[in-house]
Amino acid sequence: MVTILLASYNGEKYIKEQIDSLLNQTYRDFIIHISDDGSTDDTFSIIQSYTSKYPDMISVVQNESNSRGAAHNFMNMMIGCKNDYIMLCDQDDVWLPNKIEITLDKMHSMETIYGKDTPLLVHTDLRVVDENLATISPSFRAAMNANYEKTALNNQIIQNTLTGCTVMYNRALSELITKMPSFMVMHDWWLMLVAAAFGKITALNSQTVLYRQHGDNEIGAKDVRTLRYKVRKLLNYSEIRKALNDTYAQAQSVLDVYRDKLSADQIALIESYCDIPNQNKVVRWIMCCRLGVLKNGIARKIANFIFI
């Protein structure tokens, strides 16, 4: 059984199209749990119309108070859900019909190699589209210059390569998601860090989601290969500095939650990484190289060395 966790908030414009895309999946053995974060538009009533029509497939709860954003709404669901296979779903995208089928096939292949008791995570590429579903970029992976092969903890501690709406993870990994961290950048990054520390990660090159870009996106897709993007990022010192500081705080949270499960080498890695801001510039450069905490791509590496 596959469980789909969908976080909703004021998504009346797109959520019907998303739910319809879930109901049109080629793989049928799934249920949808929706957590609405106190929507003030018609989102909740739209969802209720689906729960009335498909009571065995769709359930919804509405939070009494807002969870402080999609990340916390998702994390609350992830903490509570301990099922065989779990997928995360944004309210404004569209899933391609074979998304569950091909992701689950890959998960089963991983289980054959590593066993069901190993925490496992599968994710895929996306097709970036505008609000009317016209293609902006055929590959999110290419647009972001992402390297899905770098799955080690030292790679993920500095740069997330997971887009949450593409993920499937197994029960063994779900059992490790037990509490809300004191700080996280996003729920999918947190999940990726846990998988990198304790399990195995595999990516599919297939695009399984129409990743809709519109004015209300919390997180969006940018083509990082363009000169305009690179110049804008380099000129935005405060944004880069905050992003780096957030990685230190998130790494410390990983240490706080999982210290008793991490290996000695992993603890040493995270402690050293969290100590980088306390060092002078030259030592920071040396530590980044020694720990292998370098972002993918020349432009990102240059920015890191400038602003570290």
Q: Could you tell me the CATH number of the domain that includes residue 125?
A: 3.90.550.10
Cβ-based neighbour number of residue 184 at 10 Å = 21
Domain identity same for 157 and 279: no
Give the total number of structural domains in the chain.
Answer: 2
What pLDDT shows up at residue 250? Answer: 98
- Distance from C-alpha of 281 to C-alpha of 83, rounded to nearest angstrom: 46
Question: Is 222 inside a domain boundary?
Answer: no
pTM over 0.95, yes/no: no
Domain identity same for 20 and 160: yes
Question: Is 278 inside a domain boundary?
Answer: yes
Q: What's the first-to-final CA gap in the chain, in angstroms?
A: 45
What pLDDT shows up at residue 64? Answer: 82
Domain identity same for 115 and 231: no
Domain identity same for 100 and 243: no
Using the 3D structure, point to which of 153, 184, 212 is the last residue of a domain. Answer: 212
Domain identity same for 206 and 235: no
- Distance from C-alpha of 89 to C-alpha of 96, rounded to nearest angstrom: 12
pLDDT by residue for the chain (308 residues), tens digit each? Answer: 999 999 999 999 999 999 999 999 999 999 999 999 999 999 999 999 999 999 999 999 999 877 779 999 999 999 999 999 999 999 999 999 999 999 999 999 999 999 999 999 999 999 999 999 999 999 999 999 999 999 999 999 999 999 999 999 999 999 999 999 999 999 999 999 999 999 999 999 999 999 999 876 555 555 555 555 545 555 566 788 899 999 999 999 999 999 999 999 999 999 999 999 999 999 999 999 999 998 887 667 677 767 77
Question: Is 139 inside a domain boundary?
Answer: yes
Domain identity same for 148 and 6: yes
Query: Is 174 in contact with 84 (CB distance < 8 Å)?
Result: no
Question: Is 200 inside a domain boundary?
Answer: yes
Domain identity same for 155 and 289: no
Domain identity same for 112 and 201: yes
| Host domain of residue 53 | 2-212
Domain identity same for 179 and 266: no
- The type of residue at 25 is Q
Count, in order, helices (H) and strands (E) of the chain: 13, 9
Domain identity same for 157 and 286: no
Question: Is 160 inside a domain boundary?
Answer: yes
